Amino acid sequence: MDLKVYNIKGVETGSISLNDEVFADEISNGCIYYAVNNELANRRVGTACTKTRAEVNFSNVKPFKQKGTGNARQGDKKSPVRVGGGTIFGPKPRDYSFVLPKKMKRKAYRSLLSLAVKEDRLNVVEDFTTSGKTKEMQAIVNAFSKFPDRTVLILKNDDELVRRSAKNIPNVRVLAYDKLSAKELLYGKKILVMQTAAINLGNFYSGKEVQE
């Protein structure tokens, strides 16, 4: 498939032929769901912890005698029905992360890129770099999207200057072509892909060699 190529000012300069296996693939909503769910689950810290009645620091003495008071019988102050008592079935530290099959994850990324093309959210931009200043990146983003729309920039390599220039812009996410994020691709209102990165995406997710 062919897509238009733009410069950093948002002016069309030509076109590029991209891999149909990646940018025009059949969209799998199930794979997208599991890929996003996997990322969110892997980020969870899982440190929530409550005390059971065995762990609460209270006396084992009965709060009052068994009979004659008219109250419900109470065994000790650690009972979950009393203020300051233990918690029934409360959360304990646990690991929420799980491993997603490699083929399913790649299918999810292909589906997300194809969905972005279908919804006209993906633009191919000529390769560029910055001096590391925020205003340079902000000018590039403003040429394609409006604040506060979330913008995703996919790089051809790990350009530290580009990452630095986008660091202080809250609505911009920077990704490498081989380290995508399903969540960012799904919720990004505008996805900017460098020209070489677009070719690399087509090769990387179809099993071919990528360009340097």
DSSP, residue by residue, 24-60: SPPP-HHHHHHHHHHHHHHH---------TTTS----
| Per-residue burial over 174-211, b = 16 or more CB atoms within 10 Å of its CB, e = otherwise | bbebeebbbbbbbebebbbbbbbbbbbbbbbbeeeeee
Say what the pTM is: 0.84
Residues 6+ apart with CB under 8 A from 201: 19, 22, 23, 113, 154, 177, 193
- Please compute the mean of the pLDDT values over residues 56-76 and round it to a whole number: 90
Residue 42 pLDDT level (bands cut at 50, 70, 90): very high
Between CA 48 and CA 168 the distance in angstroms is 31
**pLDDT of res. 146:** 86
Domain parsing of the chain, residue ranges: 2-27+101-204
Indicate the helix (H) or strand (E) that contains 118. helix 102-118
CATH superfamily of the domain spanning 2-27+101-204: Ribosomal protein L4/L1 (3.40.1370.10)
Instruction: Read off the pLDDT of residues 171-192 as tens digits, 9 standing for 90 and up.
Output: 999 999 999 999 999 999 999 9
Number of neighbouring beta carbons within 10 Å of residue 115: 18
Q: Give the model's pLDDT for residue 115.
A: 96
What's residue 155's pLDDT? 94
Q: Are 174 and 155 in contact (CB under 8 A)?
A: yes
User: pLDDT exceeding 70 applies to what percent of the chain?
Assistant: 97
Average pLDDT over residues 3-19: 93
Q: pLDDT tens for residues 137-170?
A: 999 999 999 888 899 999 988 889 999 999 999 9
The chain-wide mean pLDDT, for the chain, equals 92
Distance in angstroms (rounded) separating the CA atoms of residues 57 and 122: 58
